[in-house]
Structure 1
């Protein structure tokens, strides 16, 4: 059996590099247009070229999203954009619209095509249809159970790959086909502009009592009736692999580098451990602890085992759980002196305890014994965003190693 692919989000060039170095087999990203994450930083064509070169140098792949549902005006620019993307050498285009599919086949006939989850593929006949029209991979709708996925796998050609989301935010609408944002904020979720009204606070108002708002849920904070828990399937690698899917996808092009690297690393270790000894595989709970160290909501297994119920929603708050801070990333390291050059990401202090995470292996814990600024002056605190800091390391570190600390209300 071919090893399942681990596919990570890349909202910008740094996130792409972090995803690749921390264990992703491939990344997916959007350009400045035609992507369903219009508010992510996204990639210029020059940045896309640099990202593809970096990923390919590490033996990894890059998939570009052109997965909006285009209006007529959008179609004027898409052919030229496809030509430019294909010329850069991306490995696949992710799309959801049959019109864009036709353009890709005309402009770049050798390009691998993946069907976005926005196309809502939920059955084997639909999967066959798209495969017959040139689609290499189907990104299945989130609303499928493992049993349904297994049946789709059994009733489609082996040459068709199946991809599923395994981690990240869940939409309350049908695989993102939501009209709330368009109606309430004038921002079309199907053109990359979702305002996320599913996370807003809601009250009930009776028609003849304007201005009198009643909590839908008896709580002084209101209620978040559309607010789903985050998907997390890291404890269920065997079931996912055995369902026949080809790729595990992590959601999060708008998440931080810290989020991407941490989640990718945890899933990488879980997947590798499963393939090393399938018969005796046992999930390491440490990996669940790791994914809980990034900003997240409470977790759910979504539709994989059964349809979500009341316990899969969060009613009291739309806030994230944040127990750790990302405080720095290593830019350079001198093995002879054990001094690291660190780019600060959050205020950090001399004497405080941090965890240092390399792309591979376990993290280690140390205190910041001393710090110097870019001028070589001793400092007790690194207060400025992205300032350069020098500090000693207890163990050897690699470029792009992350520094994190347990959150404190006083920091």
Structure 2
């Protein structure tokens, strides 16, 4: 049984490096065109080249999303863009539109193609059809159970890979094919500009009683009738492995580096632990605890086990217990001084935690806080400022410094 690939989101170059450093086997990202995260940082060609070199030097892969449903004007320059991606040596492109697929087969026939979940593939015959069109991997629709995935796997040739989301935000619409954003705000969700109106707070009005609004009350905060929980399958690694999924995909190109690091690390540890000792495998509660530190909504197992309640009718607000406050840039062992780039404000004498790829989190006290000139400071209020503090605990470059949120 092959160990599945762990595939992580990379909203920018920093997140790409974070994902790989914390254990991802591959990352997926948006380039300059035709991807469904128009408001992410995305990658220009220079950044993409640097990211690909960083990944390939560590034996990892980079997939680029071209998964919009393009209108005619969106196709301008498609051939040149595909050629650029091929020359940059991306490992695959993720596609959903037959026109883009056809063009890719004509222009860059040796470029590997993965079918986006946007194509909502829910049966084995569709998977076979796409495989015959040159698709190497099917990113399955999220509306499938583990039993259905097993059946699809059993009817496909070994040359056809399967990828499935195992963690992150879920869309209330079928495989993300939603028109609400377009209708309500003019921002096309299927061209990368979703305004997430499913997260809005709604009231009900009967058509013959204009102006009379009836709140659909679930509790004192109202109700969010289309607001989905977050998918989380960390407690079900054995079931996922035995379903035949080739690649475990994490959602979240718009999420923070802290999110990427904590989620990738948890799934890396869980997958590795299972393959080290399948018979004696035990779930570690620290994995789910660490997942809860970064921003998320209430967790759920989605459609995997056929449960009826897929949505959450409570609140659209996020849950998180910790914030990222800094990234270690260097550590002076002789003097015991860490140099850090700020991400959120901290204060002298704060107690923080260190998140790194290997090992459990551990605590460090912030002492002798100074700016780069060596001047004593009480806090770090300036975004991305470089600061220093003293600690006898040896820190490493790219360690993430996180801090528990204060109860209000």
TM-score range, shorter chain: over 0.9
Per-residue deviation, 1:249: 0.3
Partner of 1:237: 237
- In structure 2, runs of 5+ residues without a counterpart are none
Question: For residues 234 and 143 of structure 1, what CA distance do their matches in structure 2 show?
Answer: 18
**Alignment correspondent of 2:32:** 32
SS in 2 for 1:381: coil
Tell me the residue number matched to 1:263: 263
- Please report the RMSD computed on the Cα atoms of aligned residues, expressed in angstroms: 1.2
Query: What is the match of residue 386 of structure 1?
Result: 384
- The residue that corresponds to 2:289 in the other structure is 289
Structure 2: distance between partners of 1:323 and 1:282: 25
Contact 2:21 2:357 in 1 (8 A): yes
Q: Does residue 188 of structure 1 match 2:209?
A: no
2:65 matches 1:65: yes
Q: Which consecutive aligned stretches of 4+ in structure 1 deviate over 6 angstroms post-superposition?
A: none
Partner SS state of residue 379, structure 1: coil
Deviates more, 1:74-83 or 1:261-270: 74-83
CA apart distance, 1:222 = 2.6
TM superposition score normalised by structure 1:
0.97
Aligned 8 A contact 1:114 1:136 in 2: yes
Distance 1:145 1:24 in 2: 25
Counterpart of 2:317 (choices 316, 319, 322) is 319
Q: What's 1:78 paired with?
A: 78
Indicate the larger mover: 214-223 or 235-244. 214-223
Equivalents in 1 of 2:279, 2:33: separation in Å?
A: 46
Decide whether the 8 Å contact of 1:366 with 1:394 is kept in 2: no
Measure the CA separation in 2 of the matches of 1:306 and 1:42: 35
1:33 to partner: Cα distance:
1.6
- Aligned twin of 2:338: 340
In 2, distance between residues paired with 1:343 and 1:75? 40
Cα distance change, pair 357–219 in 1 and its aligned pair in 2 (3 A): closer
Residue 220 of structure 1 and its aligned partner are, at CA, apart by: 4.4
Structure 2 counterpart SS, 1:349: coil
Aligned to 1:376: 374
Quote the residue 2:141 is aligned against: 141
Cα distance in structure 1, aligned partners of 2:18 and 2:240:
25
Structure 1 residue ranges without an equivalent (≥5): none
Match of 1:367 among 351, 365, 368: 365
Listed as ranges, the matches of 1:293-304 within 5 Å are: 293-304=293-304
Deviation at 1:378, TM superposition (A): 1.4
1:49-128 matched pairs, under 5 angstroms: 49-128=49-128
Q: CA deviation at 1:218?
A: 4.8
Partner SS, residue 42 of structure 1:
coil
Contact 1:79–1:103 (8 Å) recurs in 2:
yes
Q: Distance in 1 between matches of 2:383 and 2:216?
A: 42
- Partners of 2:300 and 2:308 lie apart in 1 by 8
Q: How far off its partner does 1:209 sit?
A: 2.2
Map Cα deviations across residues 260-289 of structure 1 (whole Å, 9 max, x no partner).
111101110111100100111011010000
Rounded to whole Å, the distance in 1 between the matches of 2:295 and 2:406 is 14
Partner of 1:170: 170
Alpha-carbon separation, structure 1, partners of 2:106 and 2:330: 46
Aligned to 1:207: 207
CA distance in structure 1 between the aligned counterparts of 2:278 and 2:189, rounded to whole angstroms: 41
**Within 1, Cα distance between the matches of 2:403 and 2:218?**
36
- The alignment of Structure 1 onto Structure 2 pairs a total of residues equal to 408
